[in-house]
Structure 1
Amino acid sequence: MKYLLVAFIGLFSLTSISQNVKLPVDTTVVTSHSVSIKGKNINYTATTGTQPVYNENGEAVASLFYTYYKRSGIQNTENRPLVISFNGGPGSASVWMHLAYTGPRVLKIDDEGFPVQPYGVKANPHSILDIADIVYVNPVNTGYSRLIEEGDKKQDRKDFFGVQADIKYLAGWINTFVTRNNRWLSPKYLIGESYGTTRVSGLALELQNSHWMYLNGVILVSPTEIGIERGGPVEVANRLPYFAAAAWYHNKLPATHQNKDLDELLPEVEEYAINTVLPALVKGGFTDAATKQEVASQMAQYSGISEKVLLQNNLAVPFRYFWKELLREDGGYTVGRLDSRYLGIDAKEAGDSPDYNSELTSWLHSFTPAINYYLQEELNFKTDLRYYMFGPVHPWDRSGDNTGENLRQAMAQNPNLDVLIQAGYFDGATTYFNAKYTMWQLDQSGKMQDRISFKGYRSGHMMYLRAEDLKNANDDIREFIENNLPKEGQSAKYQLN
Structure 2
Amino acid sequence: MTDETNAASSAKEDKKEPLEPVPATAAKDYVWTGPDGATINYTATAEMVPVREDDGTLIGHMFMLSQVSDASDKSDRPVTFCWNGGPGGASYMVNIGGMGAVRVKTDGMAHLTGVGEVEDNPDTLLPSSDLVFIDAFGTGYSHIAPGFDAKKVWGVDGDGDAFTRGIIAWLTEHKRFNSPIYLYGESYGTMRNAVVYRLLGEHGIGVTGVVEQSTILDYAPTLSGNDAYYMGMVPVYAATANYFGKAGKGVDQYEWYNKAFDFVNSTLAGALILGDELPADRMDEIAGQMSELIGLPKDFIKAKGLRIELDTFRKTLLADEGKTTGRYDTRFTTFGYPDVQGDNEFFAGEDPSYDAINAAYLDVYMKMLGDIGFKGYANYEGLSMKVNESWNWNHQARARWARRRHRTSRSTSPRLCAATPRAASCSSVASTTPPRRTGTCATTWASCSCRRRSRTASNTMCIPTATCCTATRWRLRPPAPNSRRSTRSATSSERLADR
- Compute the TM-score of the two structures, normalised by the length of structure 2: 0.71
Residue of structure 1 equivalent to 2:77: 80
Q: 1:300 to 1:402 in 2, by over 3 A?
A: farther
Residue of structure 2 equivalent to 1:63: 61
- SS of the aligned residue for 1:22 comes to coil
- SS of the aligned residue for 1:99 comes to helix
- Cα deviations by residue, 1:432-455 (Å, 9 ceiling, x for unpaired): xxxxxxxxxxxxxxxxxxxxxxxx
Q: Is 1:93 matched with 2:90?
A: yes
- Cα deviations by residue, 1:238-293 (Å, 9 ceiling, x for unpaired): 1110110111111101xxx2221122122221011012101100111111111111
Residue of structure 1 equivalent to 2:46: 48
Residue of structure 1 equivalent to 2:405: none
Residue of structure 2 equivalent to 1:266: 257
Give the counterpart letter for 1:379 in structure 2. Answer: I
More strand by share: 1
In structure 2, C-alpha distance between the alignment counterparts of 1:30 and 1:384, rounded to whole Å: 17
Q: Is 1:321 matched with 2:312?
A: yes
Residue of structure 2 equivalent to 1:166: 159
Match 1:301 to one of 266, 287, 292: 292
Residue of structure 2 equivalent to 1:35: 32
User: Does the aligned pair in 1 maintain the 2:301–2:307 contact within 8 Å?
Assistant: yes
In structure 1, C-alpha distance between the alignment counterparts of 2:109 and 2:396, rounded to whole Å: 35
Residue of structure 2 equivalent to 1:400: 395
User: Does the aligned pair in 2 maintain the 1:45–1:70 contact within 8 Å?
Assistant: yes
In structure 2, C-alpha distance between the alignment counterparts of 1:401 and 1:305, rounded to whole Å: 43
Q: 1:168 to 1:384 in 2, by over 3 A?
A: closer
User: Does the aligned pair in 1 maintain the 2:221–2:228 contact within 8 Å?
Assistant: no
Q: 1:116: Cα distance to partner?
A: 4.4
Q: 1:401 to 1:297 in 2, by over 3 A?
A: farther
User: Does the aligned pair in 1 maintain the 2:184–2:190 contact within 8 Å?
Assistant: yes
- Cα deviations by residue, 1:58-110 (Å, 9 ceiling, x for unpaired): 121211111011111x2222210111001111111110011122111111322
Q: 1:275 to 1:305 in 2, by over 3 A?
A: same
- Compute the TM-score of the two structures, normalised by the length of structure 1: 0.71
Match 2:368 to one of 374, 378, 381: 374
Q: Is 1:103 matched with 2:88?
A: no
User: Does the aligned pair in 1 maintain the 2:49–2:62 contact within 8 Å?
Assistant: yes
In structure 2, C-alpha distance between the alignment counterparts of 1:42 and 1:196, rounded to whole Å: 28
Q: Is 1:125 matched with 2:122?
A: yes
In structure 2, C-alpha distance between the alignment counterparts of 1:76 and 1:347, rounded to whole Å: 56
Number of aligned pairs?
A: 374
- SS of the aligned residue for 1:206 comes to helix
Match 2:133 to one of 136, 147, 170: 136
Percent identity of the aligned residues?
25
User: Does the aligned pair in 2 maintain the 1:226–1:402 contact within 8 Å?
Assistant: no
In structure 1, C-alpha distance between the alignment counterparts of 2:396 and 2:227, rounded to whole Å: 21
Q: 1:165 to 1:225 in 2, by over 3 A?
A: same
Give the counterpart letter for 2:325 in structure 1. Answer: V
User: Does the aligned pair in 1 maintain the 2:319–2:336 contact within 8 Å?
Assistant: no
Residue of structure 2 equivalent to 1:423: none
User: Does the aligned pair in 2 maintain the 1:335–1:342 contact within 8 Å?
Assistant: yes
Q: 1:363 to 1:401 in 2, by over 3 A?
A: farther
In structure 2, C-alpha distance between the alignment counterparts of 1:129 and 1:52, rounded to whole Å: 25
Q: In the TM superposition, what are the counterparts of 1:421-436 in structure 2 within 5 Å?
A: none
In structure 1, C-alpha distance between the alignment counterparts of 2:218 and 2:185, rounded to whole Å: 12
Q: Is 1:182 matched with 2:179?
A: no
Q: 1:20: Cα distance to partner?
A: 8.5
- Cα deviations by residue, 1:158-206 (Å, 9 ceiling, x for unpaired): 2111111111121111111112111111111110111111111221112
Structure 1 unaligned segments of length 5 or more: list them: 1-18, 407-497
Q: In the TM superposition, what are the counterparts of 1:213-362 in structure 2 within 5 Å?
A: 213-226=205-218, 232-253=226-247, 257-329=248-320, 331-346=321-336, 348=338, 353=344, 354=347, 356-362=350-356
Query: Which moved further from structure 2: 394-403 or 190-199?
Result: 394-403
Give the counterpart letter for 2:207 in structure 1. Answer: L
In structure 2, C-alpha distance between the alignment counterparts of 1:241 and 1:20, rounded to whole Å: 55
In structure 1, C-alpha distance between the alignment counterparts of 2:110 and 2:152, rounded to whole Å: 37
In structure 2, C-alpha distance between the alignment counterparts of 1:221 and 1:102, rounded to whole Å: 11
Q: CA RMSD in A?
A: 2.4
Q: 1:39 to 1:126 in 2, by over 3 A?
A: farther
Q: 1:122: Cα distance to partner?
A: 2.4
Query: Which moved further from structure 2: 379-388 or 279-288?
Result: 379-388
Q: 1:347 to 1:276 in 2, by over 3 A?
A: closer
In structure 2, C-alpha distance between the alignment counterparts of 1:156 and 1:282, rounded to whole Å: 46
Residue of structure 2 equivalent to 1:16: none
In structure 2, C-alpha distance between the alignment counterparts of 1:192 and 1:135, rounded to whole Å: 12
Q: 1:321: Cα distance to partner?
A: 0.8
In structure 2, C-alpha distance between the alignment counterparts of 1:133 and 1:78, rounded to whole Å: 12
Residue of structure 1 equivalent to 2:149: 156
Q: 1:31: Cα distance to partner?
A: 0.9
In structure 1, C-alpha distance between the alignment counterparts of 2:333 and 2:180, rounded to whole Å: 42
Q: Which has the higher contact order (CA 8 A, sep 6+)?
A: 1
Q: 1:327: Cα distance to partner?
A: 0.5
Q: 1:229 to 1:245 in 2, by over 3 A?
A: closer
- Cα deviations by residue, 1:1-34 (Å, 9 ceiling, x for unpaired): xxxxxxxxxxxxxxxxxx9982317x42111111
Structure 2 unaligned segments of length 5 or more: list them: 1-16, 402-499
User: Does the aligned pair in 1 maintain the 2:78–2:129 contact within 8 Å?
Assistant: yes
User: Does the aligned pair in 2 maintain the 1:109–1:366 contact within 8 Å?
Assistant: no
Q: Is 1:146 matched with 2:129?
A: no
Residue of structure 2 equivalent to 1:474: none
Q: 1:396: Cα distance to partner?
A: 0.5
Give the counterpart letter for 2:379 in structure 1. Answer: R
Q: 1:315: Cα distance to partner?
A: 0.8
- Cα deviations by residue, 1:34-62 (Å, 9 ceiling, x for unpaired): 12124112111111010011022112121
Q: 1:298 to 1:401 in 2, by over 3 A?
A: farther
Q: 1:114 to 1:79 in 2, by over 3 A?
A: farther
